[in-house]
Structure 1
Amino acid sequence: MEELLKNPVFASHLLAASGSVAIGTALSYPLDTVKTLIQVGASSSKKLTATQVLERVKSVSGYPGLYSGIGWLTVGRIAGLGARFGVHEFLTAFYKDGRIDNYVYVSEALLSGMISGALESCLNSPFEMIKLRKQVAAAIPIPSTSNAATKSAAAPMMSRLLPGYIPNSLALDRTVNLLSVLSSKNHNMAEALKNYPWMMTGSGKPPDVTDVRRPQDIVRLEGWRSLWRGLRTGIARDSIFGGVFFGSWQFLHLAMLDWKAVGMDPPPETNDEIGPLSPLVVSLSAGFSGSMAAAASHGFDTSRTRSQCIVLPKYLAKERKYLKWSRPGNWFERFSGMHPSDRNLLFRGISTRMARSGLASFFLVGTYYMAVDYLIAKS
């Protein structure tokens, strides 16, 4: 590995790839925040618009709230996109082995894109989970926790599951009043209920997503496996995205090579004789392919985004396991991990995601080509 890093060509490509991912993520991240909040805040009777989301984020956390969680997504995308393009290049090199020219069929590019997308989803899932929680927290006002007396009201069990969490005293008093008609030997029922994790919010419901937004809070309350929640939906989403992206990009690349070869005398026998395409044309084709891939995989993206926004404590997950809880929905929804309540919400925010994916793909490929040309020429 040290020898590879000392290689100027490899180091130039590594530096250019990391910089292009960071630039593409930074320029398209506000659209990703708007898309996420539209998906999370949508319901069958309510449809949020981009203007409403922007006004909400502006009133709660200001314009910097649009970039909440960008660091986590940048790190995850550097690893995820590195795996996506690396596996794709490895598989296409296997396909091209033994052929006269560097020719890859569209079906081969689609298959390699699906495989690389599945690996990308596994690597990027924890970072995407934390990023989404921070985006949602940027649009919801968080109550002040400066009252020391209120902090001391937390039970030891609650402090171990979610340190710093403040229980809802109104909900707890309401629950105590409902249970006061029952005979009980414990006269201090409120303090007794605080020792049960099911009553940490006072009503039996899990905490809000704004209370479980830090990585350590997610791990303590929901466990390590929660960082990969919705993995099956994510694998389906990224497999479709990667397959459509690389398949359509290869189709456009071959079409542009054929267009460039028109009028050449003598006619080229291989694609290598045509010459490379301009970086602008390649970037535009990548942006168009990214938009098409986003549209094809948007239903799974909405389902995964909404599932990652649900707080599922460890004790509830264990109950479902012991009770052999079965997933709701038809066979396809159970197999893919989708929830039946999201059937009418799968296409919310599709235009915003298409714009975000197209913009990110355009700047990713464009800045990569420009950076590689500059670094290699300089070295």
Structure 2
Amino acid sequence: MEDLLKNHMFAAHAIAAAGSVTLGTAVTHPLDTLKTLIQVGAGSGNPLVAAQVLGRIQSITGNLGLYYGFGWSTLGRISGLAARFGVYELLTAFYKDGREDNYVHVSEALLAGIAAGAMEALISTPFELFKLRAQVTAAVHLPPSSSATANQVNTPVIARFLRGYTLDKKAWDHTIEFLSPLSNKHPNVACSLKEYPWMLTGSGRPPAVHEVKRPISIISLEGWNALWRGLRPSIVRDSVFGGVFFSGWQFLHIGMLEQKANEMNPPPRSIEEIGPVSPLAASLAAGVSGSIAAAASHCFDTAKSRSQCTVLPKYVSMERRLLRWKQPGYWIERASGIHPSDRNYLFRGIWLRMARSGLASFTIVGTYFLAVDHIVPK
């Protein structure tokens, strides 16, 4: 009977956690979409603002475009946060083992948060790739193309890598015109050129990112390794975020406990006698910690987003491995996955991410406490 009750309690906590994460993602996904498009749309000119991005999304896909990639984002958040809090609880349980008080130091919360963030990045990176590709589609105008035209210009290579992709006929005609002065000994030079992967688009360039958004297209064109593209900046970002988030949350939690202890008469002799803080106070502390952690890790989030927004076919990756290609930049940029060309864009969209992380943390923690209070038996 006791084991059955424990299983029911575990299921109730799991349902409450999944529901709170889903609600938090639903509330903050429009902010995440605007933040992502500002990051990947950064150029040498004037920086994009949220109003410009919002207007473009509404003109192309409507308000529904703000929720493109919501399913992938929800799956990634549920699995990633489960790993983050699971690893954190395991490590802090090890720290608290043998102590009289159920107490974790701020430095211990920092170290546990760094390890928990690294584990979260390993699990959530593929979901973030699919989410980002879907979000980019929300701001891209797709020209209409008939299936008959597509079947006429599609080649076996294109059909194998990208099902349903339509060849850029104008770029292809320009390429053939450029090659026309060369000796034409082959009976059909144009069709032979189409068999080469680097001529997929007819211009020698890989397809646009909004054309490679489905998992099957990403895997067939870019390979399985593409699912973890941007892993290095993701690990650094989530490690920094997890360390700052949990250490900040623990610091605020200790301060609230001390304030509560000062108001008690007689003074408590241990932390257990103080009791837990209110759910609202815990939610506010989580929201503040989430905003600070987002600000501390935002530059790595931008590097991750811009890396995942690049289509890198398998043959290019293979050539880089064979040529032992090294990423340019300083050693700290290479270690953290920041490309030198992105140096001027690393803090684009920081306020949106701070608002999104703070609101999501507040919503998730508050909803979780509220759900547990109603569905978990006393």
Instruction: Report the TM-score range of the alignment, normalised by the length of the smaller protein.
Output: over 0.9
Say whether the 8 Å CA contact 1:4–1:10 is kept in structure 2: no
State the 1:191 CA deviation: 1.8
Say whether the 8 Å CA contact 2:150–2:165 is kept in structure 1: no
Residue 25 of structure 1 is matched in structure 2 by: 25
Q: For residues 135-184 of structure 1, what are the alpha-carbon distances to aligned partners after superposition, in whole Å with 9 as ceiling and x for unaligned?
A: 00011011223240332221111111111111101101111111112223
Say whether the 8 Å CA contact 2:150–2:164 is kept in structure 1: no
Residue type of the alignment partner of 2:182? L
Residue 44 of structure 1 is matched in structure 2 by: 44
Partner-residue secondary structure (3-state), 1:134: helix
Identify which range, 173-182 or 298-307, moves more after superposition.
173-182
State the 1:44 CA deviation: 2.6
CA distance in structure 2 between the aligned counterparts of 1:23 and 1:5, rounded to whole angstroms? 27
CA distance in structure 1 between the aligned counterparts of 2:129 and 2:65, rounded to whole angstroms? 17
Q: For residues 244-276 of structure 1, what are the alpha-carbon distances to aligned partners after superposition, in whole Å with 9 as ceiling and x for unaligned?
A: 000000000000111111132222121111111
Residue 193 of structure 2 is matched in structure 1 by: 193
CA distance in structure 2 between the aligned counterparts of 1:142 and 1:6, rounded to whole angstroms? 52
CA distance in structure 1 between the aligned counterparts of 2:363 and 2:45, rounded to whole angstroms? 37
CA distance in structure 2 between the aligned counterparts of 1:149 and 1:230, rounded to whole angstroms? 36
Q: Map 1:44-193; keep pairs closer than 5 Å.
A: 44-193=44-193
Say whether the 8 Å CA contact 1:162–1:217 is kept in structure 2: yes
Say whether the 8 Å CA contact 2:209–2:310 is kept in structure 1: yes
Q: For residues 335-367 of structure 1, what are the alpha-carbon distances to aligned partners after superposition, in whole Å with 9 as ceiling and x for unaligned?
A: 111100000100000000000000000000000
CA distance in structure 2 between the aligned counterparts of 1:184 and 1:321, rounded to whole angstroms? 34
State the 1:185 CA deviation: 0.9
1:202 aligns with 2:197: no
Residue type of the alignment partner of 2:115? I
State the 1:187 CA deviation: 5.0
* Structure 2 gaps, min length 5: none
State the 1:230 CA deviation: 1.0
Residue type of the alignment partner of 1:137? T
CA distance in structure 2 between the aligned counterparts of 1:30 and 1:139, rounded to whole angstroms? 13
Say whether the 8 Å CA contact 2:240–2:293 is kept in structure 1: yes
CA distance in structure 2 between the aligned counterparts of 1:196 and 1:372, rounded to whole angstroms? 58
Partner-residue secondary structure (3-state), 2:306: helix
Residue type of the alignment partner of 1:228? W
1:300 aligns with 2:300: yes
| Closer, same or farther: CA 117–63 of 1 in aligned 2, 3 Å | same
CA RMSD of aligned residues (A): 1.3
Q: For residues 198-244 of structure 1, what are the alpha-carbon distances to aligned partners after superposition, in whole Å with 9 as ceiling and x for unaligned?
A: 00111100100111011110000001110100111100000000000
Q: TM-score, normalised by structure 1?
A: 0.97
Residue 251 of structure 2 is matched in structure 1 by: 251
* Structure 1 gaps, min length 5: none
Q: Map 1:300-319; keep pairs closer than 5 Å.
A: 300-319=300-319
Equivalent pairs: percent with the same residue? 60
Identify which range, 32-41 or 135-144, moves more after superposition.
135-144
CA distance in structure 1 between the aligned counterparts of 2:96 and 2:329, rounded to whole angstroms? 43
Say whether the 8 Å CA contact 1:303–1:338 is kept in structure 2: yes
State the 1:330 CA deviation: 1.1
Say whether the 8 Å CA contact 1:80–1:120 is kept in structure 2: yes
Residue type of the alignment partner of 2:261? A
State the 1:46 CA deviation: 2.9
Residue type of the alignment partner of 1:309? C
Partner-residue secondary structure (3-state), 2:86: helix
Identify which range, 261-270 or 75-84, moves more after superposition.
261-270
CA distance in structure 2 between the aligned counterparts of 1:226 and 1:145, rounded to whole angstroms? 28
Residue 262 of structure 2 is matched in structure 1 by: 262
Residue 347 of structure 2 is matched in structure 1 by: 347
| Closer, same or farther: CA 153–78 of 1 in aligned 2, 3 Å | same
Q: For residues 32-66 of structure 1, what are the alpha-carbon distances to aligned partners after superposition, in whole Å with 9 as ceiling and x for unaligned?
A: 00000000101132310000010010011000110
CA distance in structure 2 between the aligned counterparts of 1:65 and 1:75, rounded to whole angstroms? 19
Aligned length: 376
CA distance in structure 1 between the aligned counterparts of 2:331 and 2:8, rounded to whole angstroms? 52
Q: TM-score, normalised by structure 2?
A: 0.97
Say whether the 8 Å CA contact 1:172–1:190 is kept in structure 2: no
Residue type of the alignment partner of 2:236? A
Identify which range, 174-183 or 314-323, moves more after superposition.
174-183
Residue 34 of structure 2 is matched in structure 1 by: 34
CA distance in structure 1 between the aligned counterparts of 2:73 and 2:152, rounded to whole angstroms? 35
Residue type of the alignment partner of 2:45? S
Partner-residue secondary structure (3-state), 1:213: coil
Partner-residue secondary structure (3-state), 1:65: helix
State the 1:4 CA deviation: 7.4
